[in-house]
Each structure stands twice: as structure tokens, then as C-alpha cells.
Structure 1
Amino acid sequence: MRALSPDALTGTWATVLLPIGADDRIDWERLSEQVHELVAAGVDGVYTNGSSGEFWAQSEEEFDRLSSMVADVCERAGVPFQIGAAHPSPQTALGRLRRARDLSPGAIQVILPDWFAPSDQETLAFLRRMADEAAPVPLVLYNPPHAKRVLTAPGLSRLLDSVPETVGVKVADGDQTWYDAMAPVSGRVALFVPGHHLATGYGRGAAGAYSNVACLNPRAAVWWWAQITTDQAAAEAVEIRLRSFLDTEVLPLQRRYGYCNAALDKLLAAIGAWTATGTRMRWPYQGVPEADLRRLRAVARDRLPEFTT
């Protein structure tokens, strides 16, 4: 696969979710079906082991099998893919990155060390080493709001000065003032924002999303991205409904019961009913119960008919 550049890294990218059986094992048959469906949906790319991929809960053998499966399916279909080499341990992450590099992905996603928040010097040392080891494959920095160290616009700019092999960043976005502050960053790398913010984000300089909307329904997310790039007003009207559904129906489950982000993304996939992945999380994390799924699927069919089947 050709290495991605900032200009080529754009659009709706879909994450791979882990189907977990009652025995707490990965169901590889269901996983293969899911990856093939993502490719068939026409997403701009497929990636592994973001937060919703439960990267922290995989053995190294499972990481390698998952990475190889995605690389093989995407290569055959000509679909760009990224491998997430994330792990809370920088040593384990480095080993994952070395093996991911051999699969020739378009980019390798990394997170910052996640037990102690790294200092500026430690952040640079980590990313500089990861970039050197990944070459010629570029990096994407996955820096969501729950990271131990969340970089600001000035910090990201300094990072890009020292690690120009970084072609993209995944961050939480903000209002117009936030986008104005991020302009020096978005002018140098692909800025990826939350999927349900993509219409307004694209209008303010975002390049794409590692998309929770693709979790809900990848084919509908592809349709919406086409609308975003051709009919901004209509796309923003869809975004209002997406945000309302998530803010009033899905996120309250997290606030009330503490479900993690990955559990909510699996819930979205189950609501969209495009995959048999299910809502079960790997121990000790909890998935959203069936009763909530049934209730929310009915709500989504009423409020987001384009994204449900």
C-alpha cells in the first residue's frame, strides 16, 4: 500500500471492532465478515486499534492476526488501511509498530505513553523513535480527549517541526475559535475530528474522521461524506440530528453507568444492524445491555432513518 500524505488522508475512515464471544475470545469469522463489509461499503479507509478496537485487551498474537487480516483484505480490494500500534506500554507499542511496518500500511497510528503523562521532552523522544522505526511508513498521532497527555495547537506545531513524518492527528474539536487556533496544524497535516462533527468540521478545515458514524452505518457514512463535500447545508442538517441522538440518547448511558467509548461504538454498530459484531466487551469492561439496544434502535429508526436498516 502506498504511504499516505496529508493531502491524501481524508474522508470517512472506519474502525474495526472486536466481536467477543461468551468465552471472552475474539470471533475471527465474524471479524472477517465485518472487515469485508467495511471494504464493500466504500469507506475511504479502514483502521485498526483505535480506542474502539480494544487494543489494550489483545495479546500480541491476536494483534498480529488482526493486523494481517485487515492488511490482506484491504490490499486485495485496493482500500487504504492504517494499523494502530497503540498500547499503554511504549515498549510494547514499539514492538507492534515494527511488525505493523512490515505490512506496508498507509500509515501507523500511535498514542502517547499512557500510565504517566509524558513531558514535552518525553513526548518528542517517544514520537521521534516511533517515526524512525516506522520509516518509510508515516505516523498518525491518535490524541483523543481521554489521553493522559492532550496536546494543544502550539504543542502539535512544535511536534510537527521535529517529527515531520506525522501526516495526521486525531483530536476532539471545538468551536470556530478552536479551529482558528488549529489552523497552523491543519495547514500541515490531516486534521481528523469526531465523526458526528464532520460536516461543520470540514467547513472549518478538518480533513476527515475516524468515524463513530461509520460505526453506526458505514454505507450511510459514505453517503454523508459525499453530501458533506457537495451540499454543506444539507449535511449540516444531518449533523444536527446525529448530534441530538448521541447527546440525548447514547451519551447519557455513559454518564449514568460508566460505559467506555468502545462500548458505545459497539452499541452504535448494533443499532445500525449492519454487522453481527455484538455489544459484548472484553473482560472486565461491560457492553450495553440488550434492552437498551432495542430501545435505542427504535429511536434511531425514527430519528436517523438513513443510518438504520
Structure 2
Amino acid sequence: MKPMAADEIVGNWGTLMLPVNEDDRIDFIRLEQVVNYMAGIGLNGIYTNGTAGEFYTQSEEEYIRISELVADRCERNGVPFQIGASHMSPQLSLERIKRAVTYRPGAIQVILSDWFPLKDDEAINCLLRMAEAADGIGLVLYNPPHAKRVLVPEVYGKLKQAVPNLVGIKVAGGDASWYEAMKVYAEGISIFVPGHYLATGYSQGAHGAYSNVACLNPQGAQRWYDLMISDLPRALEIEKRIQRFMVEYIAPFITEQGYCNAACDKLMSVVGGWADVGSRMRWPYRSIPEFEAERLRPIAYELIPEIMKA
């Protein structure tokens, strides 16, 4: 597909999660089934190798195989897609970016080098080298709350001015003053916020979500985004119940039991039951037992039927 401009990167994007066998290998048979399903249900887009895609565990052979599968199915179905080329090593990230270019995604997702936090000039230098490797395909910068350095609006302005090929960001969002500042400093950047805050973000200028709600049910998440366009007050009411589900039933796995975020994303896919992903994480991260999904499923159906129903 052709590279996407910032104003084309919008809406509800589903993440590809990895079905993992007991021997810690990716089950590519199940993975192909997941990709085929996601490519056929009308999502605004699909992306690979985000946090929930466990990019940090993949060998380069696995990275290539996953990327080729998604690129092929999305091209066949006319679905926009992005390839995640993030890696803790900037050198390996560059190699992944060069490989991603061959699949002609709409954009390539990256993180800033992740051992020591980068100063502004180092971050600019990092993204400039990555943009050069991307060969005209736009970069989407992941800057989640657990990044070594969480960037403020003014820094996004510096990055965009120095690196025009920065077309998107994934961030935690903020309050009304944060959104006002981003209107000034992040012009020309597609702003993606957490899925369970998307209606609020949309009302204040965000463009979409690489969505944890899509982990729960990608079709339901897509319906919810479409509702934001036609009936924002109704979508905001649903968001309140989505946030209640996340705060009361999902977040405690992180805040009280110490599981990583990706383990919760995988658990939600089991709660939703839309694909055979499973809750198993790759070593060394702990997996949330699947019986927790059995407990949470009726709660989710009662609280947010708009998301859960097929």
C-alpha cells in the first residue's frame, strides 16, 4: 500500500497478538487464523509487533514471518496496516525498519532507544536515522507511560520540526490542557490514545487508538469508534462503562498482582472469545490463568454488551 499521511491514520486499529504453545513457540497455524479473521471484519487498520504483540521476544526469523503474513492478508483484503519495527537495540530496530520497508506498510512503528533515556537532540538523531531507513514511509512513535522518558507536547513539536516523516504517535493522552498544547505542538501528527479513553480523546482532538478495547473484541471496538462519529454522547456513555470494567476488573492484575500489560491484553482476548489467541505469554513474563477469563466474561457482557456482542 502507499505510505499514509498523518490525516489518513485514524480510528480503531487492532493489534496482532501471538498464540504461544506450551513449548514457548509461536503457533503460526493459529496466528494465521487470527490474521485472516482480523483482516476480514472491517477494522480501520491492523498493526504488528506492539507491546501486546510481544515484539521484545521475537527472533528476526519470527519477525519476518509475522510481517509477511500480515502484509499479505491485509493487501488481499485492502486493509491498512502498520509494521512494528521496535526493538530495545536501536541497531536492531534499524534492521527491522529496513525489512519492514519491503512490505510497503502504511507506516512503521518505532520506539526511542530504550536503555538510557534520550535527550532532545539524541531523540531527534535517533528518529532521523530511523526515518532515513524507512525510505519515505512515515514513522509512528510509541511513547507509552512505561517509556524511559515520557515526552511532553513541546518535545513533539521539536521532533516533528526536525523529522517531518514523524506522522503518528501512541501516547497515554492527558487532561484538557494537554490536548490544547498538542493542538499547538503536534500539528501534522496523528495522535493515538489508549483504547478505553478513545471517546474522550476523540472529543478533544485525538485521531484514534491502537486499541486495548480491540483486544477484548475488535468488531465491538470498531462499532464503538463508528458510533463516536455519529453519536458522540452515546459513545462517551459507553466509555464510562468500559473504563469501569478496566479499572475494577483488569487493572488489578497489574496494580495488585504484578502482571504486565500485555498479559492483560491477552486475557481480554480470551474474555472476548473472538479468536484462539490464548492467555499464554512468552518467557519470561507470567501468564494470567484462563479461568480468570471465565469469571470475567459474564461481567463484561453485562457491563459493556455494546463491545462484547458479535
Cα pair 1:270 1:278 within 8 Å, conserved: yes
Cα pair 1:41 1:222 within 8 Å, conserved: no
Q: How many residues align?
A: 309
1:261 aligns with 2:248: no
Displacement, 1:155?
Answer: 0.5
Displacement, 1:265?
Answer: 0.6
Cα pair 1:186 1:206 within 8 Å, conserved: no
- AA paired with 1:252? P
- AA paired with 2:80? P
Cα pair 2:15 2:210 within 8 Å, conserved: yes
1:52 aligns with 2:52: yes
Question: 2:20 aligns to what SS in structure 1?
Answer: coil
Displacement, 1:35?
Answer: 1.0
1:90 matched to which residue of 2? 90
2:128 matched to which residue of 1? 128
Question: 2:46 aligns to what SS in structure 1?
Answer: strand
Q: For the residues of structure 1 that align with 2:23 and 2:286, how far apart are their CA atoms?
A: 14
Give the TM-score normalised by structure 2. Answer: 0.98
Q: For the residues of structure 1 that align with 2:290 and 2:128, how far apart are their CA atoms?
A: 45
1:156 matched to which residue of 2? 156
Question: 1:7 aligns to what SS in structure 2?
Answer: helix
Displacement, 1:308?
Answer: 2.5
Cα pair 1:110 1:142 within 8 Å, conserved: yes
Question: 1:257 aligns to what SS in structure 2?
Answer: coil
- AA paired with 1:180? E
2:184 matched to which residue of 1? 184
Over residues 56-81 of structure 1, what are the superposed CA-to-partner deviations in whole Å (9 max), with x where a residue is unaligned? 10000000000000000001111010
1:18 matched to which residue of 2? 18
Gaps of 5+ in 2: none
1:204 matched to which residue of 2? 204
How high is the sequence identity, in percent, across the aligned residues?
Answer: 50
- Which region of structure 1 is more displaced relative to structure 2, 181-190 or 35-44? 181-190
Cα pair 2:156 2:186 within 8 Å, conserved: no
1:117 matched to which residue of 2? 117
Give the TM-score normalised by structure 1. Answer: 0.98
Displacement, 1:186?
Answer: 4.2
Q: For the residues of structure 1 that align with 2:143 and 2:135, how far apart are their CA atoms?
A: 21
Cα pair 2:224 2:307 within 8 Å, conserved: no
- AA paired with 1:260? C
Q: For the residues of structure 1 that align with 2:185 and 2:9, how far apart are their CA atoms?
A: 14
Q: For the residues of structure 1 that align with 2:243 and 2:37, how far apart are their CA atoms?
A: 25
Displacement, 1:151?
Answer: 1.1
2:227 matched to which residue of 1? 227
Give runs of ≥4 in structure 1 deviating > 2 Å. 306-309
Displacement, 1:116?
Answer: 1.2
Over residues 174-213 of structure 1, what are the superposed CA-to-partner deviations in whole Å (9 max), with x where a residue is unaligned? 2211111211244321110011111111010000000111
Cα pair 1:271 1:293 within 8 Å, conserved: yes
Question: 1:53 aligns to what SS in structure 2?
Answer: coil
Displacement, 1:291?
Answer: 2.6
Root mean square deviation of aligned Cα: 0.9
- Which region of structure 1 is more displaced relative to structure 2, 48-57 or 112-121? 112-121
Cα pair 2:4 2:107 within 8 Å, conserved: yes
Cα pair 1:20 1:26 within 8 Å, conserved: yes
1:43 matched to which residue of 2? 43
- AA paired with 1:71? A
Gaps of 5+ in 1: none
Cα pair 2:270 2:279 within 8 Å, conserved: yes
Cα pair 2:199 2:236 within 8 Å, conserved: yes
2:170 matched to which residue of 1? 170
**Following superposition of structure 1 onto structure 2, how do residues 245-256 of structure 1 map, counting pairs within 5 Å?**
245-256=245-256
Question: 1:292 aligns to what SS in structure 2?
Answer: helix
